Structure 1
Amino acid sequence: MNNFWIILFHTYLNKLKSKSFIVMTILSVVIVLALTNINNIINLFDKNGGKDKIAVLDETGQLYEPFKQQLNTINKKIILTQYKGSEKEAEAAVEKGKFDAVIQLGLNEQQMPIATSKAMSIADTELFSDLERGLQQLKTMMTASKINLTPQQLQKLYEPVSFKKIALEKNAKTEEQLNQARGLVYILLFVIYFSVIMYANMIAMEVATEKSSRVMEILISSVSPIKQMFAKILGIGLLSLTQLAVFLLTGYYSLKSNMDALKGGLFGVFGLGDIPVATIIYAVIFFILGYFLYATLAAFLGSLVSRIEDIQQMITPMTMLVVAGFMIAMFGLGKPDSTFITVTSYIPFFTPMIMFLRVGMLTIPLWEVLIGIGILLTTIIILAIFGARVYRGGVLMYGKSNSYKDIKKALQLTKNQ
């Protein structure tokens, strides 16, 4: 048993000290800090503090003030300035950076407002969309005045209808809770997806690297292949939890210090200001189970390969399973209660992501979750037993791996030992 722990901690510490792991962790921490400080970064690079300066050429002499009033209700960060010079002078001012754009207001034959906007680039769709909405509201107001509608009548005309959504199911989530859950589940699905792929691939690469360097032959003489396999799986598992702990702690403290700036924005919509404890617990459970499922699969597939160049070809079907589960989960964000999502949540290779999706977005009975976890655990055990037998023979196989027929050869070698 001592050899098991030696390999486990050797795998863990060896990867922990590697340059690639350190660089990747630092880069990931930088990305986490950048995302949680996004408002501060934008303001740092924005010379106008996020405000757009627009020069207005009003050919009519009567549209500037009402247009300014309408636009102020849409976006207060757009600063309008009535420009007294010519169109060419306004364009030159835009080219010099004094204004972000120039908008020319006029009237058509029906005496309705029209506009032409010019800027160095028209890539800022939000800005031009807001300018267009402001002009549309101005046109609506002028049309209403022509048919003698009072401001109160106009307000009633455009007042949104009352449309309430009430769930009859007991303890069902409200619309606001669903929107928050959807964003939170979306983020955590990405964490599960990328973590499973990254760490499972790491195990397969670790086994293939040792075989290619003939280190495996030395290890086999002192430690059984089965102990090696599970020591590597647990070693990389500890590594993944270490890296995720660094990310989560960094993200938590950075979010906490920037919560006032982020509140009401992207993080407010995603519900990150009030994360349910149960959702975090389920995320950890399904992450760990998903890791062990794919890590076991990756370990015995990696044992069939003796050249690092062949590893991607061998684990591609496994990667496709993870991708398929993620794509189904993305579909399920819009229809989490569909029969298709319910059925696929019990398919073990999809359970870590899809059952977590259902738990996060729906109020489902505990027995359904336990059945999903039970199926997942059973699959992991079966895969571990089968994988251990394949691994035991696979580590003794050398030469180019061409197909999954090598699994049969590996099992035969195991029987002969």
Structure 2
Amino acid sequence: MNNFFIILFHTYLSKLKTKSFLVTTILTAVIMLALTNMTNIIDFFNKDGEADKVAVVDTTGQLFEPLKEQMKMVNDQLILEKFSGNEEEAIKTVEEGKYKGFLEVSLNSENLPVASYKAMSIADSSIPADLQASLQQMKTVMASNQINIDPEQLEMLYAPVEFEKSALEADAKTEEELNQARGLVYVLLFIIYFAVIMYANMIAMEVATEKSSRVMEILISSVSPIKQMFAKILGIGLLSLTQLAVLLMVGYISIKQNLENMEGGFFEFFGFGNIAGSTIAYAVIFFILGYFLYATMAAFLGSLVSRIEDVQQMITPMTMLVIAGFMMAMFGLGQPEAPFVKYTSFIPFFSPMLMFLRVGMLNIPFWEIALSIGILVATIAFLAVFGARVYRGGVLMYGKSNSFKDIKKALQLTKNE
């Protein structure tokens, strides 16, 4: 047992000290800090910046003032200035950088506004979109006046239809709770998806690296291959928890300090203002189970190859399973009650994401959650036993080994020991 812990902590500490792990952790933490401080960053860059200005050439002499007033309601940060010169002069001022662009407005044959916007670049679609929205409002008002529709009738015409949605189940989530759950589950699904792929690949690479450097020949003489496999799985599992703990701590502290700036908008949509404890608990459970499921597969698949270059080819089917589960979860975000999502959530290779999706968005019977977790645990146990047998023979195989037919060879070697 001492050898088991020696390999476990050696795997953990050796990966913990690598430059790739440190750089990845630091970069991810920096990105997380940037996201949680996005409002402060935008304010910093806009602090000394001038508001965008657009020159307006009004050929009618009657559209500029209504347009300016309408623009204040659409985007009060965009300044409209009346330009008295001709089009050539307006273009020159834009080229000199005095204006972001210029807008020429006129009336068509039906006495309704038409416009032409020109700028050095139209890559920024927000300004022309705001201008078009303001002109559209003006056109609606002018057209209604022409056909003698008073403002009250116009408001009634464009008022959205009253449409109330309510669930009949006593404990069903409200629409607001569903929107928050959908956003939160979306974020946590990404964490599960990327973490499982990254750490499972790390295990496969670790095994293949030791085989290619012949370190495995020394290890198997003192420690059984089965102990090696589980020591590596647990070692990298601890590494993943360490990295996630650092990132979660950085994110929590940053969000705590910027909580006032995060009210509404992005953070409200993604449900960070009201996170249910059960959702976090199930996220942790399915993350750990998903990790052990794919980590066990990655370990015995990595033991079949002798060259690092062959690792990706060998674990590609496993990676495709993770991707398939993630894509089905993305579909399920819009239709979590679909029969397809329900039934596939019990398939162990997909349940870490699909069952977590259903738990986060729906009120499902506990027996379904327990059944899914039970099937998942049983599958992990089966893969652990089967994978240990493959691993035990696979670490003794050298040469070109990048086919699933080599699993049979590995099992045969295990029997012959």
Q: Do 1:74 and 1:130's aligned partners in 2 also have CA atoms closer than 8 Å?
A: yes
CA contact (8 A) 1:259 1:273 kept: no
286 and 266 in structure 1: CA distance in 2 versus 1, 3 angstrom threshold: same
Deviations 1:93-151 (Å, cap 9, x if unpaired)? 22222222211111001110001111111112232222111111100000111122222
Which residue of 2 is the match for residue 203 of structure 1?
Answer: 203
Q: CA deviation at 1:269?
A: 1.4
Q: Tell me, in whole angstroms, the C-alpha distance in 2 between the residues paired with 1:17 and 1:75.
A: 51
Q: How many residues are matched?
A: 417
Partner residue in 2 for 1:61:
61
User: How many Å separate the matches in 2 of 1:304 and 1:353?
Assistant: 28
Question: Following TM superposition, by how much is the alpha carbon of 1:47 offset from its aligned partner in structure 2, in angstroms?
Answer: 6.8
User: Alignment partner of 1:299: what SS?
Assistant: helix
**One-letter amino acid of the structure 2 residue matched with residue 189 of structure 1:** L
Cα deviation digits, residues 291-338 of structure 1 (max 9, x gap): 000000000000111110110110000000000000000111111100
Q: TM-score, normalised by structure 1?
A: 0.97
Q: In the alignment, residue 345 of structure 1 is paired with which amino acid? A: S
TM-score w.r.t. the length of structure 2 is: 0.97
Do the aligned residues in 1 keep the contact of 2:313 with 2:402 (CA within 8 Å)? no
1:300/1:390 contact within 8 Å kept: yes
Q: Residue in 1 aligned with 2:11?
A: 11
5 Å-filtered alignment, 1:151-190, equals 151-190=151-190
Alpha-carbon distance between aligned partners in 2 of 1:287 and 1:11, rounded to the nearest angstrom: 21
Give 1:407 deviation, angstroms: 0.5
Confirm or deny that 1:120 pairs with 2:114.
no
Shift of 1:48: 6.7
Structure 2 counterpart of 1:406, one-letter code: D
* Cα deviation code 1:149-175 (max 9, x no counterpart): 222221111111100111112311111
Runs (4 or more) in structure 1 with deviation over 6 Å come to: none
Q: Which letter does structure 2 place at the counterpart of 1:155? A: E
Of the structure 1 ranges 304-313 and 271-280, higher mean CA displacement relative to structure 2 is found in 271-280
- Partner-residue secondary structure (3-state), 1:85: coil
Partner of 2:367: 367
Instruction: Give me the whole-angstrom Cα distance separating, in 1, the residues matched to 2:62 and 2:259.
Output: 43
Per-residue CA deviation, residues 231-282 of structure 1 (Å, 9 max, x unaligned), is 0000000000000111111111112222222322222211212221111111
Separation of aligned partners in 2, 1:119 and 1:345: 52
Q: Tell me what 1:234 maps to.
A: 234
**Equivalent residue number for residue 271 of structure 1:** 271
Given residue 279 of structure 1, which amino acid in structure 2 is its aligned partner? T
Query: Which structure 2 residues correspond to residues 237-386 of structure 1 after superposition, within 5 A?
Result: 237-386=237-386
Shift of the 101–259 alpha-carbon distance from structure 1 to 2, 3 Å rule, reads farther
State yes or no: 1:100 paired with 2:100. Answer: yes
Quote how far apart the aligned CAs of 1:49 are. Answer: 5.4
The farther-off stretch of 46-55 and 59-68 is 46-55
Identity %: 69
Structure 2 CA distance for partners of 1:25 and 1:106, relative to 1, 3 Å: same
Q: What's the offset of the Cα at 1:46? A: 4.1
Matches of residues 28-67 of structure 1 in structure 2 within 5 Å?
28-46=28-46, 51-67=51-67
- List per-residue Cα deviations over 1:40-71 (Å, max 9, x = no partner): 22333347759432221111111112112222
Unaligned runs of 5+ in 2: none
Amino acid at match of 2:311: I
Q: Please say if residues 103 and 116 of structure 1, whose CA atoms lie closer than 8 Å, have aligned partners that are also in contact.
A: yes
Query: How far apart in 2 are the matches of 1:78 and 1:151?
Result: 27
Unaligned runs of 5+ in 1: none
